[in-house]
Structure 1
Amino acid sequence: MNFKPFVSSLLAGLLLAATAARADDIPVAVAANFTAPFNKIAAEFEKETGHKVMSSFGSTGKFYAQIKNGAPFEILLAADDETPAKVIKEGAGVAGSPFSYAIGKLVLWSAKPAVVDAKGEVLQRGGFDHIALTNPKLAPYGAAAVETMKKLGVHDSLSPKFVTAETITQTHQFVSSGNSLLGFVALSQVLKDGKIEGSAWVVPANLYTPIRQDAVLLTPGKDKAGAVALLKYLQGAKAQAVIKSYGYELGQ
């Protein structure tokens, strides 16, 4: 009787069992603009490692407040680089762990074609009742939108038309539903297969402070193999290809 197939099968089963036993559940707080790419990255990471990613999506400002109040996240993927630095300074993050996983791009977008022109002159021209943006106190994309409008000299004239959302996901919903004709969102939210549906102006980078999005290992994840592995995976070629496909630039 040939025992080799049986032994190979047994060893494979034992290896799978050992991997499953070591698998971690990884609670991750993810900036809302990064929802689509992170879902893809997390699914592939889970297949390759056996770890399970437990994702929460929202505004960086709200996650910061939750982390300060003891929320057991192991990783924060922020929409800025200031919040990770702050959590480290306050003892809630691991020194030396932050890195820029993406650099975001701001877009003025309408779900309808021919509303937003290629130079963003619609902001000067008007002809709309509402413009959506994310709360600049909670979200860097909202702060970037305000900075852009101020540099263009249209902030004060447009402010009565602002529809302010708590997250950039909600901002996108305001515009996609037609409740607001146009709004400032992340390029990653409207880029599908390399094209933007509706009409859009990709805001020139010199009109706002670069949206450098940093990842940080939080204190609860310090000794967790799964959390460390996920951060390493984010810096790998597969994850970076996904990030670039959603219109982000890669961090340095």
Structure 2
Amino acid sequence: MRSISGHFRALLLGIAGALLLAGSADAAEVRVMISGGLTAAYNALVPEFERQTGNKVLTAYGPSMGTTVNAIPVRLERGEPADVLIMVGYALGDLAKQGKVIADSRVDLVKSPIGIAVKAGAPKPDIASADAVKRALLAAKSVAYSDSASGVYVSTEMFEKLGIADAMKDKAKKIPATPVGEIVARGDAELGFQQIAELRPVSGIDIVGQLPPDLQKITVFSAGIATVSKEPDAGRALIKFLASPAAHDALVKSGLEPIPAKVTN
């Protein structure tokens, strides 16, 4: 009986070991390029995705646009490997038109509003209306905005809409490849404009609030599969997870509004 029992135990251990090896063999490495808008929520969610699937996620961070060395289009152009791209929706659309993203893989994940920040402890200006924001901008000695979607809007549309484009030329600066909040935190700008989700993780600042509705510009962040992907199925699984109800709370906590997944028959 003992020998049979021992043999049975060894057989079970062997089966368990084989299953473990099989699981390891099936596990994929999913390479992701992601811009700042979803980073905080993404970093909180990825460990659970890895736990559920056994896949390993390898992440490269950078802006959705621009010419800095870590910008996602620049990374792709120099041949860096990628399976999943998570970035500003219209920038992802541009990459799809260039043949760098599988067009029907796109999933819109969240809406992201623009906010205003000041250095921690500094007086918070009134930003309840467009006129109030205009007064705050004219009173500020220095203003910072990002080199991505929110900054493009602030510098090319919002200043014009407020009629202060000329007044802002010398004191409003575009910040490439660095969170605007960090510039505000160290006192290099009195006011900082960036998406709320990108301001929240930065210490040393106070978020005044969102732009008022008549000035607000909502950015959609989307995910898609790179045409060079070596793990498209694992990549799609990650996108599905980020768009699922399981991701909802983490997205909301980071200042984002989840976009309900489209139901297909």
Counterpart position of 2:227: 219
Is 1:41 aligned to 2:45, yes or no? Answer: yes
Deviates more, 1:34-43 or 1:62-71: 62-71
Deviation at 1:205, TM superposition (A): 4.3
Identity of aligned residues (%): 22
List per-residue Cα deviations over 1:119-144 (Å, max 9, x = no partner): 26254144332111112xxx101123
Counterpart position of 1:76: 85
Distance in 1 (alpha carbons) for counterparts of 2:79 and 2:206: 41
The one-letter code sitting in structure 2 at the alignment partner of 1:129 is K
TM-score (norm 2): 0.81
Query: Does the Cα contact within 8 Å between 1:28 and 1:55 map onto a contact in 2?
Result: yes
Residues 1:12 and 1:233: Cα distance change in structure 2 (over 3 Å) = farther
Counterpart position of 1:154: 164
List per-residue Cα deviations over 1:23-50 (Å, max 9, x = no partner): 2222211012222111111122112212
Counterpart position of 2:54: 50
Q: 1:189 aligns with which of 195, 198, 204?
A: 198
Q: Please, what is the CA RMSD of the aligned residues?
A: 2.5
Distance in 1 (alpha carbons) for counterparts of 2:231 and 2:63: 26
Distance in 1 (alpha carbons) for counterparts of 2:161 and 2:12: 66
Is 1:244 aligned to 2:255, yes or no? Answer: no
Is 1:163 aligned to 2:167, yes or no? Answer: no
Residues 1:149 and 1:11: Cα distance change in structure 2 (over 3 Å) = farther
Residues 1:159 and 1:22: Cα distance change in structure 2 (over 3 Å) = same
Query: Does the Cα contact within 8 Å between 1:24 and 1:225 map onto a contact in 2?
Result: no
List per-residue Cα deviations over 1:69-103 (Å, max 9, x = no partner): 43321111012x22222222222111211011111
Is 1:234 aligned to 2:245, yes or no? Answer: no
Distance in 1 (alpha carbons) for counterparts of 2:184 and 2:109: 27
Give unpaired runs (5+ residues) of structure 2: 66-70, 261-265
Equivalent pairs counted in the alignment come to 244
Structure index of larger Rg? 2
Counterpart position of 1:63: 72
Q: 1:25 aligns with which of 26, 29, 48?
A: 29
Is 1:203 aligned to 2:211, yes or no? Answer: yes
Give unpaired runs (5+ residues) of structure 1: none
> What SS class does the counterpart of residue 145 from structure 2 fall into?
strand
